[in-house]
A and B are shown apart, each in its own frame.
Chain A
Amino acid sequence: MIALFFRDLKLSVRAGGGTMIGVLFFMTVVAVVPFGVGPDLNLLSRIGPAMLWIGALLASLLGLDRLFQAEREDGSLDLLLMQETPLLMTVFVKCAAHWAATGLPLVIASPLLGLFMNMNELAIGATMLTLLAGTPAITFIGAVGAAVAVALPRGGLLVSILVLPLAIPVLIFGVSAVYAAIEDPAPFLPPFMILMAITLFFAVIGPVAAAAALRHSAD
């Protein structure tokens, strides 16, 4: 299992993997926003956390279709299906590796982009924290979409369409936790706790459903 984790991590960090592209996409999306809404620093600092969240959401959807597709192409997916360890665990580990390769870099890159958006330190910290808590949930939901679309030749776009509506709660609570941290009267903890709960919930539901979809799409 640990070997699988590092294998997946290495594969995606190496050339051709999704890590660099994901981060670049994230930066590009966020950098495009000021051109759309104008360079007003006050406005940018107000919508900054939301833009970072949307950028992270889109960027983590970007590499999702590759989650199981590469395995399917070279046939190792069948090996994963047949081995003794439960498929559930395999999917979970693959999700974790995918998150470490694409989600974590987004979290690390977010403070830099926060500076671009004229956010203060508190807002940057809160955004990082919520992204750290929320992006795993996106990966776990996305795993379901990726497993469903694994057999399709051009499943990438379909994965995004299927996954985005399901990811709305994550976005809502992530962003509202950040705003709760910045604006004084609203308490930070309730939305953040709910965000964590959603992440844990999807950490269970996601692998179960993805494993079921993989098993059914294989035969």
Chain B
Amino acid sequence: MSENSLAIRKFSDLANPTRFLALADRVLPWFAVATALLFAAGLWLSFTTEGDYQQGETVRIMYVHVPAAWLAMMCYTVMAISALGTLVWRHPLADVSAKAAAPIGACFTFLALVTGSLWGKPMWGAWWVWDARLTSVFVLFLMYLGLIALNRAMDDPARSARVSAVLVLVGFVNIPIIKFSVEWWNTLHQPASVLRLDGPTIDPEFLWPLFSMAVAFTLLFFTLHIAAMRNEIWRRRVTSLRRQAVRSAGREAQAL
């Protein structure tokens, strides 16, 4: 029964992934070129601008760290929107999008953590402080890994998508609570003498490289995301083809 209804739905929605593949083929080269250009500009800007008088050269870490942290959050938002798409509109591409976004988001979160740690060592004198921001990003990282583990553990893509969509949404609702509670916990346990990452104002000198790097990273994310979605669609086609091959082989064996 379920096999039948699934087949019908797949059949009627097939135009959509196919159209998406065509679109992705057309769009991806442009995205890749734009990403490369922006990265070149961003990197040039971030190495030619002056260092901060207070933080010295380390301010250059910011041009990687802040975009990565921004992407870590944006990627989860993309996943949450895709989860809504899966559960509410049953859009066939939404679960592909959520599944493709998870590893990319985990990578950027990892990047944010590592660069934050590399920034923290010269600034705070420690690789890791239980700062509210670092801690909540770490929790986000754990959530990404849990979602990837869940996606891996289930073999049926349609079911795993819907189930993990529920979890993504619960996590999305939870992120503000986690953020708030970690901040509370932090003010409770830590003296306020720690140097904050955000200075009082940000010098326009830093704004341009930061901005261009942020845009470059965002474009990079979308490029990777579209490519990963395309891969995921291909992977599903391969599995369905393989199943079809097995089935037709079985039929031939029966006929003999």
Contacts and interface: CB of A to CB of B under 8 A. Distances in A.
> Are A and B in direct contact (Cβ within 8 Å)?
yes
Contact of A209 (B147, B170, B180): B170
A176 interface: yes
B96 interface: no
Nearest to B2: A219
Given A168-B178, A173-B184, A176-B185, A212 B149 contact: no
Interface string A30-42: 0000000000000
Nearest to A195: B181
A162 interface: yes
A198 interface: yes
Given A162-B150, A165-B143, A216-B159, A148 B178 contact: no
Given A152-B153, A219-B2, A144 B166 contact: yes
Contacts of A161: 142, 145-146, 149
Nearest to A154: B153
A209 B166 CA distance: 6
A95 to B, nearest CB: 14
B185 A212 contact: no
A25 to B, nearest CB: 22
A168 B167 contact: no
B103 interface: no
A158 interface: yes
Interface residues of A, number: 33
A213 B181 contact: no
A4 interface: no
B87 A165 contact: no
B48 to A, nearest CB: 40
A189 interface: no
A205 interface: yes
B2 to A, nearest CB: 5
Given A148-B150, A152-B153, A216-B159, A172 B184 contact: yes
A151 B181 contact: no
A151 B163 CA distance: 10
B112 interface: no
Contact of A148 (B164, B181, B182): B164
Nearest to B162: A216
A217 interface: yes
Interface string A131-171: 00000000001001101110110010010011011101100
5 contacts: A151-B154, A169-B177, A172-B181, A172-B184, A217-B162
3 tightest CB-CB pairs across the interface, nearest first? Answer: A169-B181, A216-B162, A213-B166
